Homo-oligomer: A and B are copies of this chain.
Amino acid sequence: MIDKEKFDEWYHEIVEKAELCDKRYPIKGMNVWKPYGWKLMRNIDTIIREEMEKTNHKEVYFPLLIPESYFKKEAEHIKGFSEEVYWVTHAGKNELEEKLLLRPTSETALYSIFSLWIRSHTDLPLKTFQIVNTFRYETKMTKAFIRVREIHFFEAHTCHTDFEDAERQIKEDLEIAERFFKKLCLPFISSIRPDWDKFAGAYYSIGLDVLMPSLKTLQVGSVHQYKQNFSKPFEIKYEGVDGKHYYCHQTTYGMSERVLGAIIGIHGDERGIKLPSSIAPIKIVIVPIIFKGVEEKVMEECRNVKKEIESIGLSCHLDERDKTPGNKFYDWEMKGVPIRVEIGPKDIEAHVITITTRDGIKKKIRRDEIEKLKEELNEYDRRIYEKAEKFLKENIHELREIEKREGIVELPWCGKEECGKKIEEEMDMKSLGVGIPSRKCKEKCVVCGEKADKWLRLSKNY
């Protein structure tokens, strides 16, 4: 893991060195996705889609542009986003009759149509999602994948007959998150955000956060219970079994390209990024170790091994470039390929291949046991997950009083907003909220001294 002090500079450079993006596009905060980075993002999308399919969500695509009048239907929502939206005011040489905005998130685009799709309780639950780009005019310093102005975004939107069914959905969302982040070897924590920091328009919000090597947290996902806050202004009603009409209860679940930012940051090291095998476009790279005179023999063996690796379902690349093995090692380590296979004359003689995992474990595998590479990938994933989990756990601190600490802290809190904000101020941190699952607290609030039944989680964050 990268040292705390070096992290931000390392991250700034690695995203271009590993050929994930190009930051030279002439609009601040809007980067170009290079082929390797885009492939990673698309592989992450594929994992999301699998989870959505398993849980009966249907994929839709709604227009990018939203009329101003629709955007303004939910009062808190517009308040929360009005500073951040891009406005389309003209088309061709005409000024538009009504201004249009680029979606910063899609509630107000989807919900006018949901009100047409939902008629009866038999239409519920309605479970949809889309993978789109959203646009937010960030005023803070931008950072590739972490704070950008065009955001590759996943958003699930669901409608339910009642609050309880919406709560069940939120439970399902948290289970999806467990499986999803596990596949990416990313340990995370979930917290119910304090009321003063919930999503604009939500009844309550849950944040999913990871801890970066800088000891700052990064929100990589969020789940929102909307209750009927949107269904009322958007008139999303259904006829119940009793023939009466009711407003739906709604939830959303969102994630973004920040997930890639987290993978880069948490698993990376001085040599480059380190990919979980689930999203690595190349899981195994073969580097021939060639000396004059044995070239063809080695290359033939490399080609045979490649075929065998592919035949067990693993993506494999044979690096035939005219470069030294050392230079090749450097390139593939930079790009985070999980396993490197070296094959030289000695390996052939001994009927083995030499493997080195991206986290530095070197061993020989018998030539007739290529199948073992699968196990090696699993073990590699497990190790990088556990390393990150250890780092996360070591940096969560339960405190009894205000004191300067880095990472994530938890302090006894009475639940009052004024005390929570006072803690934020004194700690010079932002509240993440109350952890899920919640832990019992029998202390006194560090601000007012009254009974505290909650631990308030805080951290510095991105």
Contacts and interface: CB of A to CB of B under 8 A. Distances in A.
Contacts of A39: 59
A267 to B, nearest CB: 23
A416 to B, nearest CB: 32
Interface string A3-40: 00000000000000000001011110011111100110
Residue among A27, A91, A102 with the most chain B CB within 10 A? Answer: A91
A338 B130 CA distance: 27
A88 B86 contact: yes
Contact of A150 (B35, B60, B65, B87): B65
A109 to B, nearest CB: 8
A62 B137 contact: no
Contact of A30 (B24, B30, B31, B63): B63
Contacts of A24: 113, 116
Nearest to A112: B26
30 contacts: A22-B116, A22-B117, A25-B112, A25-B113, A26-B67, A27-B63, A31-B63, A32-B60, A32-B62, A33-B60, A33-B61, A34-B60, A35-B60, A35-B128, A38-B59, A38-B60, A42-B59, A61-B152, A65-B86, A82-B92, A83-B93, A85-B92, A86-B88, A86-B90, A86-B100, A87-B89, A87-B90, A87-B91, A88-B88, A92-B139
A70 B60 CA distance: 33
Given A64-B64, A84-B91, 10 more contacts: A25-B109, A27-B63, A35-B58, A35-B59, A38-B61, A85-B91, A87-B88, A87-B89, A88-B102, A89-B90
Interface of A: 22, 24-27, 30-35, 38-39, 42, 58-65, 67, 70, 82-93, 100, 102, 109, 112-113, 116-117, 128, 133, 135, 137, 139, 150, 152
